[in-house]
Amino acid sequence: MPEGPVGLIGLGIMGMPMARNLLKAGYSVVAYNRTASKAQELAEEDGATAVGTPREVAEACSTVITMVTDSPDVEAVVLGEGGAIEGIQRDAVLIDMSTISPSVTRTIAGRLKEKGAHMLDAPVSGGSWGAIEGTLSIMVGGDKAVFDRCMPVFEAMGRNIVLAGPNGTGQTTKLVNQILVVGTMNAVAEAMVFAAKSGADLETTIEAVKGGAAGSWQLQNLGPRLIKGDFAPGFMVKLQQKDLRLILEAAREMNLPLPVTSLVHQLFASLEAAGLGDEGTQALVKAHERLAGIEARV
């Protein structure tokens, strides 16, 4: 277990439950959030302290986690005015658990190395439910010795924890994950609309196919939610769109066609245009329902 408190920058839908799992594991937590009231809320719990800048987090902690929305947000809290890099300790580790650009990750890692500090890019999968339950999958890029040193921190928040390679490969692996996630979610949505149009019992259909070759996390966890009209987010449409933008930008740099992923990006765009960006990704079924003229509900 690393000595001293763990810093956490970003207390949103993912960061707050991750901070609470660190507290449950026996760590003290020094937290910063742009909306200060969230940090103050956490500070009411035993072992947690709120501070006013990312720099203060880094000054207090040899292990600092960032969990914010996008590449510019990570750059701001790490490299910006009052950022973590201004207070980073020598031999400290900054663990970025956001999903951002692999190239931006490598740039930040280089800047931290100049300060004598280390970086692990460690994006996660499992949504808010995985963050609450401490069962996130964590894909890590960085030095193995640093990874091994931080394993107890990761184990407080996740279950499937894999070192993918050097800095940037954690983010690349997360983008691979998201290609698989959106393609599977699209298949679940299409399948439920097909079943509804055919007059099949939707709950029975899911029960019949989820244990076979068609089974998936999306079908087992999000299929029942979407047929019941539960579109509360484990992961929001607008955040999925951010990840898809990162994927398509990287693919464009490689001249790599991703036809299905591009199509799903457009289907999610139709949900955003309808004001549904804050709904869970299972709301993708609504795009297919509009095309088909039928609802897939029990």
**Catalytic residue annotation:** 174
Q: Are 171 and 141 in contact (CB under 8 A)?
A: yes
- Which of 255, 290, 263 has its CA nearest to residue 183? 263
Residue in this structure with the two tokens 């931290």, named with its chain if needed: 112
Question: Going by DSSP bridges, is the β-strand pair 93-96/63-66 parallel, antiparallel, or unpaired?
Answer: parallel
How many C-beta atoms lie closer than 10 Å to residue 44's C-beta?
8
Residue in this structure with the two tokens 């931080």, named with its chain if needed: 150
How many CA atoms lie within 13 Å of 76's alpha carbon, on the beta-carbon side?
13
What's phi and psi for 234, nearest 5 deg? -90, -30
Residue in this structure with the two tokens 């087992």, named with its chain if needed: 220
Tokens encoding 49 = 């302290």
